[in-house]
Chains A and B, each alone.
Chain A
Amino acid sequence: MFEPEEIRKDFPILQRKIGGKEIVYLDSGATSQKPKQVIEAISKYYETNNANVHRGAHTLGDESTQLLEEARETIAKWIGGKSEEVIFVRNTTEAINLVAYGWGLDNLKKDDVILTTEMEHHSNIVPWQEVARRTGAKVEMVKVTSEGLLDQDNYKDKLKLKPKLVAMVQVSNALGTINPIVEMTKQAHKIGALVLVDGAQAVPHMKVDVQKIGCDWYAFSGHKMLGPMGIGVLWGKKEILNKMSPFLTGGGMISEVYVDHSTWTELPEKFEAGTPNVAGAVGLVSAIEYLDRLGIENVREHDKWLTVYGLQLIAGVEGVEILGPRDAELRSGSISFTYTGVHAHDVATVLDSQGVMVRSGYHCTMPLHNKLGVVASVRVSFNVYTTKNDIDRLVEALLEVKKIFGK
């Protein structure tokens, strides 16, 4: 284990005081804060190596290209893939859209089934609805139980519809639920479906190995795992990526361009039209190095400990109802709750007045909230710099809600 109080010192923003109080940042599920190592790596890139990649026979261009390709290798190794299978994108949403448009439009036809779940972030629902609208395919959703788990019996039933694709989240951004994706992937493959996993909330907190998961695509963002905004990854199996159409077209992804047609380059550039975010990739590598130094297993232990402590204290506040499973083994990274009689936005505003920053609303999971019969909820989410003190301050701040709303 590591000492989160020590880790906080690496995060310049956490030294900031608002209204004379130290910031309690409990919105890491939306985006994590960045350690100075990451910020410095990005600055250093712009100060010493910046140039465009894959063109221009000059030293800076070569250095930039090398940094980008080294980043690809580091990331590939980190998730257990090959470097040509790592496609740089802006974020998880873009990665899912790449699959939706690059694979879905070509491979889905009328009445084909796309299977997603009620637990998905809108970014793993809306692109599939769009593909369905254009191809005539249908979107089906695996049900969520009242405890906040994917209903495995319902999943088995839905697999009988012979979906062409199963698109599912590894860790729910709204409930924190960890889904049994290894087993679910196996079952999907048995009936011939391909599997896309949204790993946005998993990569910051646990060891991810795409080979062990066995999925066909894995999508994640850098900014939730201590890296910068604007860089994310789509990993995909080489043989599948090779058969897919490019999503965005233009410079950097073509082999030859004629007046009436063009030919594409090889992987991974085929999917990386335009100037890539080299600084972002460099920053993401620095974030991976940071997590590696802490040890990703320790990160998961820290996260689990916070979940146990948080669940216990938050559930003890009068009027609070916890959403999602109560077993910390089944959850990661966040705790969502409602406060009887007080709207989540009002709770969040009161907490903010106490220097405690949380997320309130639907968390981009409207079908899930409808399912649970909850209008909006409050979410507190963690990362490596989150301390016991943060949770204590949250609970103190929650008592203010009662003072103001008398409930």
Chain B
Amino acid sequence: MDIYKEEVMDHSEHPRNQGSFDNVLIKDGQVGQILEGRDSNVSCGDMVQFQLRVEDGKIVEVKWKGVGCAIATASASKLSEYLKGQALEDVREMSEEEMVEKGIGFSVNPGREKCLMLPVKVVRKILES
């Protein structure tokens, strides 16, 4: 099956950067800033939360958590790897398509588009707030 390629399965079974900064105390103006956001897919209940730790306009660390299918999990995992080290401004200027292309790097059939896009929507939400 095309959709469940080795890379997708690897990321869904061993998701990278999972967790949260909830127990780490960082306040505005100190070491850095934590931006966070979450969203869910109403048709299935999948939920994803992203936290970006930002220092001097650069994303230095990413943590995410959530419940989701293999596609949403792999998508969040890959995106979290990509975002680490990016300038906040550069990511803010990216279109959703660009974020999928550069940050996720795999595609799905239209029926699974929402699963793939959930992490992207969450990151867009964080950057727009």
Q: Which of A342-369 contact B (CB under 8 A)?
A: 342-346, 349-350, 352-353, 360-362, 366, 369
**Complex Cα–Cα for A362 and B42 (A):** 8
Q: Are A343 and B45 in contact (CB under 8 A)?
A: no
Judge whether A345 and B71 touch: CB under 8 Å. yes
| Contact present for B43 and A362 (CB under 8 Å) | yes
**A/B interface sample: 19 pairs, CB < 8 A:** A343-B44, A343-B68, A344-B69, A346-B71, A349-B3, A349-B4, A349-B109, A349-B111, A349-B112, A350-B4, A361-B45, A366-B42, A369-B45, A375-B45, A376-B45, A404-B1, A404-B4, A405-B4, A405-B9
Question: In the complex, which range does the number of interface residues on chain B fall in?
Answer: 10 to 19
Does B42 contact A345, Cβ atoms closer than 8 Å? no
B85 nearest CB across to chain A (Å) = 30
Q: Contact check: which of B67, B68, B70 meets A405 at CB < 8 Å?
A: B70
- The A interface, classified by DSSP as helix, strand, loop or mixed, is helix
Complex Cα distance A375/B46, Å? 7
For the complex, what is the distance from the CA of A334 to the CA of B67, rounded to whole Å?
26
Complex interface: chain A residues within 8 A of B70 (CB): 342-343, 346, 405
For A350, the chain B residues whose CB sits under 8 A away are 1, 4
B122 within 8 A of A: no
Decide yes or no whether B115 CB sits under 8 A from chain A.
Answer: yes
Please indicate the chain A residues that have their CB under 8 angstroms from the CB of B71 in the complex: 345-346
Q: Kindly state the separation between the CA atoms of A404 and B69 in the bound complex, as whole angstroms.
A: 14
Chain B residues lying within 8 Å of A346, measured Cβ to Cβ, are 4, 69-71
Given the interface pairs A345-B69, A353-B1, the reply to whether A361 lies near B111 with Cβ below 8 Å is: no
Complex Cα–Cα for A305 and B69 (A): 33
B44 contact from A345, A353, A404, Cβ within 8 A: A345
Which of B1, B44, B109, B111 has a CB less than 8 Å from the CB of A376? B44
The CB with the most chain B CB atoms within 10 A, among A344, A353, A362, A376, is that of A376
